[in-house]
Amino acid sequence: MSDGESAMTAGWPLPEGVTARRIDGVNGLSMHVLEAGADGQRPLVLLLHGFPELSYSWRRVLPALAAAGWHAVAPDQRGYGLTTGWRGGYDDDLAPFRLPALVDDAVALVEALGHRSVAALVGHDFGAVVGAWAALLRPDVFRSVVLMSAPFAGPPTQAAAAGSAAAGSATAGSATAGSAAGAPSIHEALAALPRPRKHYQWYYATRDADADMRYAAQGLHAFLRAYYHMKSADWPGNDPEPLADWTAAALQRLPTYYVMDRDLGMAATVAPEMPAPAAVATNRWLTEAELAVYAQAFERTGFQGALNWYRCKVGEPFVAELSRYEGRTIDVPSMFIAGARDWGIHQSPGALERMQRTACTRMEAVHLIDGAGHWVQQEQSDAVNRLLVEFLSRHGDAARRQP
């Protein structure tokens, strides 16, 4: 790493044994990673973060995996953090942010680390979406997978892909169909509710979303504090339950960080839920010093590179590309972990059930952890680490480092 970059990470609160470095030549990227347990011989575990997160989200997981005998690596993915080599403006080419391209990034990182396969790929939030597609497309590389907080229901159907633009179906990673032909789109139906609403993923695909969050009226640090708080177990509004279907009547039950008020951006949505100073001072899963790592990163890069993932997730051409894999399943050993107070496991109705029933043929268990919301590996890291180590003890030997 350069002296300048070393200075950027020098103040990060990192557990003992976790180090940072840069790996060049990763599918056109110079990829920044955090890692632990790098002795040149250990099997690899790859950890993929979600939105709006970083490699830093795995800071409490990396040392536990290293202590159990693994080489644990968490990258800043394309569009995030200290990883460079990507162009992420709103008008730039979206092709590098397609899910198959993000899988290629993960494969290239494995190869750059000197491995042919990994013991496990672990993904959280949007990282779980990438992880699921990586296991589906490249089971030769990703020999087992742990998904966190975002259930994978299988590739979109061609019927759902055909209707995605008009109907607003829950597509990438979900088999939920859109509205019937001639019926109002989900967006029209949400906007027509007595309390007009809009879906956050399509909001994230708009040109205005980056500036709304990056230049939030309350400041970027305060915006992120409120956003992380509102999706955590600390927020009393998180009492999730399954939704009946993909209709406006059902979706309006989701918190406003998922189904937003129509006329508000995300910064204004979360601002009223800013925790009190006393709650911030006693927060142990995300201290102010730790939050500053995220705030400084997004202040430097903005959110647009990360938001381009959402533009590909809901964009009709990209959904159509994924529908070519309709019927394909994840056939490597898998496990799902989420917080018991995470609405994210229900935001795509039926996805949790389809993941267990059809999408993952070797799904071993679903663990919903008490005392955790959406940021499960940060909120309840000890419980997550125990589950990961147990899973790896059963499946990790399948991907020993190749000479």
pLDDT of res. 6: 59
Supply the pLDDT for residue 40: 78
With CA atoms as reference, report the closest residue to 362 among 393, 391, 326, 399.
391
What's the pLDDT score for residue 5? 52
Confidence of residue 96 (pLDDT cuts 50, 70, 90): very high
pLDDT, tens digit, for every residue of 226-281?
999 999 999 999 999 999 999 999 999 999 999 999 999 999 999 999 999 999 99
Which residues does 361 contact at the CB level (< 8 Å), separation at least 6?
329, 330, 331
pLDDT at position 73 over 70: yes
pLDDT at 315: 94
Nearest-angstrom CA–CA distance, 89 and 47: 26
Residue 126 CA to its chain's centroid (Å): 2
Sheet with 71-75: list strands edge to edge: 19-26, 29-36, 71-75, 44-48, 120-124, 145-148, 334-339, 363-369
Q: Is-contact 391 119, C-beta < 8 A?
A: no
CA distance linking residue 303 with residue 88, whole number of Å: 9
Q: What's the confidence (pLDDT) of residue 142? A: 97
Q: How many CB atoms lie within 10 A of CB 93?
A: 10
At 183, is the pLDDT very low, low, confident or very high (cuts 50, 70, 90)? low
Please tell me the distance from the alpha carbon of residue 128 to that of residue 320, in angstroms, as a whole number.
20
3-state secondary structure of 174: coil
Cis omega before residue 52 (within 30°)?
yes
Q: Rounded to the nearest 10 degrees, how much is the dihedral formed by the CA atoms of 8, 10, 16, 21?
A: 50
Cβ-based neighbour number of residue 320 at 10 Å: 17
- In three-state secondary structure terms, 119 is coil
What share of the chain in percent tops pLDDT 70?
A: 90
Domain spanning 3-154+327-399: CATH superfamily: Alpha/Beta hydrolase fold, catalytic domain (3.40.50.1820)
pLDDT of residue 234: 98
pLDDT digits (tens, 9 = 90+) for 130-153: 999 999 999 999 999 999 999 999
- Find, among 245, 95, 252, the residue nearest to 170 by Cα: 245
pTM flag (> 0.85): yes
For the chain, give every domain's residue range. Answer: 3-154+327-399, 158-313
| 371-387 average pLDDT score | 98
Instruction: Please report the pLDDT score of residue 41 as a whole number.
Output: 85
37-51, 63-77, 168-182, 321-335: segment of lowest average pLDDT: 168-182
pLDDT bucket at 177, cuts 50 / 70 / 90:
very low
pLDDT at 119: 95
Q: What is the pLDDT of residue 172?
A: 39
- Could you give the angle at the alpha carbon of 376 between the alpha carbons of 373 and 379, nearest 5°? 85
- What pLDDT is recorded for position 184? 74
Place of tokens 């430097």: 300
Confidence category of residue 180, pLDDT binned at 50, 70, 90? very low
pLDDT in tens, 212-221: 999 999 999 9
Q: Residue 8 above 80 pLDDT? A: no
Helices (H), 324-380: 351-354, 376-379
Three-class DSSP category at 207: coil
Count CA within 13 A, CB hemisphere, residue 393: 8
Identify the sign of the CA torsion 384, 387, 393, 398. Answer: negative
| pLDDT tens-digit readout, 97-142 | 999 999 999 999 999 999 999 999 999 999 999 999 999 999 999 9
Q: What are the helix and strand counts (H, E) for the chain?
A: 18, 10
Q: What is the mean pLDDT of the chain?
A: 92
Q: Is the pLDDT of residue 23 over 60?
A: yes
Say yes or no to pLDDT of 165 above 60. no
DSSP annotation string for 74-96: EEPPTTSTT-BS----TTS--GG
